[in-house]
Structures are given as C-alpha cells and as structure tokens.
Amino acid sequence: MNRIKSAYGERDDSFSCEALYSGKSVNRIVAILINNRGQRSTDIFEFENGLIKKEWEYLLG
C-alpha cells in the first residue's frame, strides 16, 4: 500500500472498477480499472491474510 500511496499520493486520480475476475485461488483477483481521465489499466492483486501483498499494473493506453 505504501507504494500505491507514493505513486498516487500527490495526484487527484480516482478509479472505477469496470470488471472484476477471480479464479479458483481466492488470494488473487484481476480488476479492469478506469481513472477519472478515461485511462484503463488491468491490475492484478495478490492477497495474504486479507491484505494486499503484491500488485501488478498494466496500462492499457
């Protein structure tokens, strides 16, 4: 979370979730996000003990 906060802490971006997918493993989800400027990304979140352990972000342009 500290990395996410440091990446967006000085910006006023907000995000909406367009789609959310989970597989058999409940510790990982994939989210298609769109920000307030219309930019989309695919974000993969891995959880451990109910907290975000890792995040991978792929900008879709």
Instruction: Give Cβ neighbours of residue 10 (< 8 Å, ≥ 6 apart).
Output: none
Say if residues 42 and 21 touch (Cβ distance below 8 Å): no
Give the model confidence (pLDDT) of 7-58 as tens digits.
666 777 788 999 999 988 778 999 999 988 898 999 999 999 988 889 899 9
Helices (H) and strands (E) in the chain, counts: 1, 4
Helical segments of the chain, H only: 2-8
Domains identified in the chain, total number = 1
- DSSP letter at 14 equals -
Q: So what's the pLDDT on residue 8?
A: 66
pLDDT at 1 over 70: no
Residue 7: domain span: 2-59
